[in-house]
Amino acid sequence: MGWLPKSRRARRRLTAVAVAAPILGVAVTLSLYAMGDAAVFFYSPAQARAKHVPANRLVRLGGLVQMGSVQKLGDGEVRFGVTDRAAADEVVYKGDLPDLFREGQGVVTQGVFRPDGVFEAREVLAKHDEKYMPKEVADALKKSGEWRPDGEQTFAARTPGGVPAAAQGFR
């Protein structure tokens, strides 16, 4: 056996590595398999449109609540738009909204896109103070060029309807 080390200590280390590597590989594979459905991906409306997120796949959709889009219906259902300047998605949520939820502010929703393209939220998270914005939303706004860290009004608050003409329609 010419490929084995001559030292007894080195052969023991090689044997330990040869035994540990497959065990570690199986452990990692089982962990990733078990975590499979627990991973929830974040998208801004433009990213969701570009990636063609399949219907009924659990995702997070984040951006700004579109100005003038919040509609509260009689059965506890709320409809609103989430936008990132480049695109907007209609969101439907049934339940109580966070106290700090309002138009023009950052929001992250978790749920699924229905086959008709409407995002059905199971959870709505709003920012908790004037300086905080969820990291995913801030990153998406920075990427779209709409980030305003100094407290200026967001584009949703200064444009008619909340978004530019190119992004006015929902998906």
Say what the pLDDT of residue 81 is.
94
Contacts of 43 (CB under 8 A, 6+ apart): 51, 53, 59, 60, 61, 62
The residues that bridge with 25 in the sheet, in sequence order, are none
Pick the closest to residue 62 from 79, 77, 41, 78 (CA basis).
41
- Mean pLDDT in order along the chain per 10 residues (171 residues): 81 92 94 76 90 90 91 90 90 91 89 94 77 68 67 43 44 49
Helix (H, G, I), strand (E, B) or coil at 170: strand
Say what the pLDDT of residue 32 is.
83
How many angstroms separate the CA atoms of 88 and 148, rounded? 19
Say what the pLDDT of residue 40 is.
76
How many angstroms separate the CA atoms of 75 and 112, rounded? 20
CB 5 within 8 A of CB 18: no
Burial of 62 from C-beta contacts in 10 A (0-12 / 13-18 / 19+)? buried
Is the pTM higher than 0.75? The answer reads no
